[in-house]
A and B are shown apart, each in its own frame.
Chain A
């Protein structure tokens, strides 16, 4: 849980990957309640099937939250200054997401170092579910 120290971060530094899953419908429901996204495509199989999907699927923002969870444990919850996600592939029950991240830029600032990272949540199929880019201001 302890975030990295400033000296340990340079361009090319990678975080140890973390897996989330197998994902369950209960996780989707928990995210619905926590976020207020009550779209039934994420918890009502009958409705999802009638809309042409094989089953319910994860909210893109649920996967974004898992990737954010991974990123803040790496670089510090207090330090986040920007977090941008691009939604790529749908994520289904029983999927396992592997989160990974790499530092792509480090810029000195008067109050520390602004660290830019590229983050990816990849499905067990190898398909990229979401990509993200984030800035963290590391003090010191």
Chain B
């Protein structure tokens, strides 16, 4: 299933937890004190872990062949200071763009940009994640 541009997923809740931030900071080999304690803030790429909070089927699929799938780019935008431990974020995916380019050895490469919006409880957009996924062209000799 490949969702079309403008399609929105199902909104879900992500609780920003200090323990989860500390665990993420350890995985990024960071001793930065901003990621410790009750007022910990989230690291730049932490919101990727929203996947842990998504109920089955809430996120949007790229619809691409997994064997030809590449993660091209990933961007996180913060519309203010990064979210803090204790915040509850409302999270929803949307398909932002789909486009194609000719493959280097024929065929076509397909691209999809999935934006994940993170809103505070009052509805303010606090952060966005933009994920560009690529499906490479099928091999010319593939049947």
Contacts and interface: CB of A to CB of B under 8 A. Distances in A.
Interface of A: 1, 20, 27, 30-31, 33-37, 60-62, 64-66, 68-69, 71-73, 77-78, 80-87, 134
B15 interface: no
Nearest to A59: B71
B2 interface: no
B41 interface: yes
B32 A83 contact: no
Contacts of B71: 60-61, 87
Given A80-B82, A81-B77, A68 B41 contact: no
Contact of A1 (B32, B41, B74, B76): B32
Given A72-B30, A78-B82, A134-B44, 6 more contacts: A1-B33, A27-B29, A34-B24, A35-B24, A60-B71, A83-B76
21 contacts: A1-B33, A27-B27, A27-B29, A30-B27, A31-B28, A34-B20, A34-B26, A34-B49, A36-B48, A61-B71, A64-B74, A65-B24, A65-B28, A65-B45, A69-B43, A72-B43, A77-B32, A77-B43, A77-B82, A80-B82, A85-B75
Contact of A36 (B52, B78, B79): B52
Q: Is the interface of B mostly helix, strand, loop or mixed?
A: mixed
B128 to A, nearest CB: 10
A85 B33 CA distance: 24
A86 B72 contact: yes
Given A1-B32, A36-B49, A78-B34, A83 B27 contact: no
Contacts of A73: 30, 32
Interface of B: 20, 23-35, 41, 43-45, 48-49, 51-52, 70-79, 81-82, 130
A29 B69 CA distance: 22
Closest 10 CB pairs of A and B: A77-B34, A84-B75, A65-B28, A36-B52, A34-B27, A83-B44, A68-B44, A69-B30, A69-B28, A36-B51
Nearest to A35: B49
Contacts of B82: 77-78, 80
B73 A87 contact: yes
A86 B26 CA distance: 23
Contacts of B72: 86-87
Contact of B34 (A65, A72, A83): A72
Contacts of A66: 28-29
